[in-house]
Amino acid sequence: MSIGFAPQAGGDRIRVVAFGGGHGLSASLRALRATGLPLEITAVVTVADDGGSSGRIRAGRDVLPPGDLRQALAALAGDDDLSDRTARLMQYRFGGADELAGHPVGNVVLCGLMEQLGDPVAALDQVGAMLRAVGRVLPMSNKPLGIEADLAVDGRQITVRGQHQVAVAQGRVLQVRLEPPEPDACPQALAAIADADWLVFGPGSWYTSVIPHLLVPQLAAAVTRSAARRLVTLNLAADRETVGLSLPDHLDALGRYLPDLKVDIVLVDRNAVGDPEPVANAAESLGARIAIAPVAVQDGTARHDPVRLGRALVPLLGTAR
């Protein structure tokens, strides 16, 4: 049974499910909050991280990697002073050189609650209650998963295993897979997708944070069946795992991993898009139109500004299905 979660229900609320992981999902969640719209937000988070603190924890204990889940919870923390101070504590990373060094407090708390309660969703709901979260955070699966990818490197094909290794590997990703290949989806995530008005994908690491959701058969089927509208927010620049992948290629990849995927809107930054026609054509192949807006931070770095992104989302999400 879930603990501590009080859904903010209401007939006029717009139910949004955001998929992703890490910094990209955090930016998306903060942007959704910045819209000021009456949203009921659910974050569905990847659970394949095996680097840093999350990798150390999952290597020693049979729990979900907590890092991306923690970041999503922090992004949804309430606006009051206590929630803010709790979120900053959860994000605090231990220094030094001992066994705690490098672990954020929130990772340790989530690990402890997942062990104590024996239910990752109950643990996430309890931390959400501690943070007075304005939405709910769910894992895409209740079991930790692995990622492996086939890469083209210097004219040959190699296989790389582990989310961290895929994210930092040199070479062009040819194919990405989950291990095990057909994991069960989190039941609460499936229910949220079924009830959603909007499904939001990206921004984020395309092969290790966005596409993995489409590789969980039950999630993919739920997305395909859902009557919700679908919005894709494209990245601002290629990262190491998407070197050589154009913005139209990002959209083609979504269609390749989920051929039945239909999208309504593709949101792209004004300065990142260059010539919009190729992106518009790729969006049209998914059934979508493109929306162009300034959504990046103004210092020139390739990061989404939650306030500007939220402003761009207002006219797009303002009407439920």
Q: CA 180 from chain center: how many Å?
A: 20
Asked whether residue 254 carries a pLDDT value surpassing 70, the answer given is: yes
Average pLDDT over residues 49-56: 94
| pLDDT given at position 274 | 82
Hey, CA dihedral for 58, 29, 142, 230, is it positive or negative?
negative
pLDDT in tens, 17-48: 999 999 999 999 999 999 999 999 999 999 99
The DSSP 8-state label assigned to residue 275 in this structure reads S
**CA separation for the pair 278, 285 (Å, rounded):** 11
Asked whether residue 286 carries a pLDDT value surpassing 50, the answer given is: yes
Whole-number percent of the chain with pLDDT over 70? 96
| pLDDT given at position 300 | 80
| pLDDT given at position 299 | 87
Closest CA to 50 of 35, 42, 36, 60: 60
- Read off the tokens for 257: 């991993």
Partners of 292 in beta bridges: 268
Maximum Cα interatomic distance, the chain, rounded to a whole number of Å: 56
Mean confidence (pLDDT) of the chain: 92
Beta-sheet pairing, 156-161 with 265-269:
unpaired
pLDDT band of residue 9 (cuts 50, 70, 90) is very low
Q: CA 266 from chain center: how many Å?
A: 16
Asked whether residue 3 carries a pLDDT value surpassing 70, the answer given is: no
| pLDDT given at position 4 | 36
**CA separation for the pair 15, 32 (Å, rounded):** 11
